[in-house]
Structure 1
C-alpha cells in the first residue's frame, strides 16, 4: 500500500514519495508534505524552465532561482513560466 501525505500544493491526501528527494531537512519536509503527483509536476516544470530559459545549472544563481521556484510551486503559488508558454486548458 502507498504512503499517503497531506499535500501542501493540492491540500488533500495523496500518494507520497517513496524516498526524500534531497538530503537533510529540505528533503524530509518535501517527503512529509508533498505528494508524488506534485513532485512529478515540479520536475516537468523545472525541466521546461531549464530548457526554455536556457539555464546553466553550473551557476549558483540558477540553482538558487530553481530552489525558489520549487518552493513556490510546491506551495501552490504562482511560478515563472517559459516565455510564450500557454498552459493546457484542463476543463
Structure 2
C-alpha cells in the first residue's frame, strides 16, 4: 500500500518512501517530506557526484559534503553538479 506525502522538492502531493532511507532524525524527515521520485532523483545525482568527483565514501568529509548537497537538492537550493556530464540524447 502506498502512502502520499507533500513533497518538499516538487511542492505537490506524491507517493512517499516505504521506509526511512537512513536512521535518525534526517531519515525521518526525508520519509515524512520527500517523495519516492525525488529520492530516486537524488540517488542519481549523488552517484554522478561520487563518480565524477572521484569521492571516497570512506572519508567522513565526503559523507558530510554529500549530506549538505542532499539538503540543498531537496530544498530547491543551488547544489553542486557533476562537471563535464552531458546527458544522453533522446
Q: Same fold (TM over 0.5)?
A: yes
The superposition leaves residues 7-26 of structure 1 with CA deviations (integer Å, 9 ceiling, x where unpaired) of 00010000000000011111
State how far apart, in whole Å, the 2-side matches of 1:77 and 1:15 are.
22
Q: How does 1:5-84 map to 2 (within 5 A)?
A: 5-84=5-84
Gaps of 5+ in 1: none
Gaps of 5+ in 2: none
Q: How many residues align?
A: 89
Q: TM-score, normalised by structure 2?
A: 0.92
RMSD: 1.5
Q: TM-score, normalised by structure 1?
A: 0.91
State how far apart, in whole Å, the 1-side matches of 2:33 and 2:85 are.
28
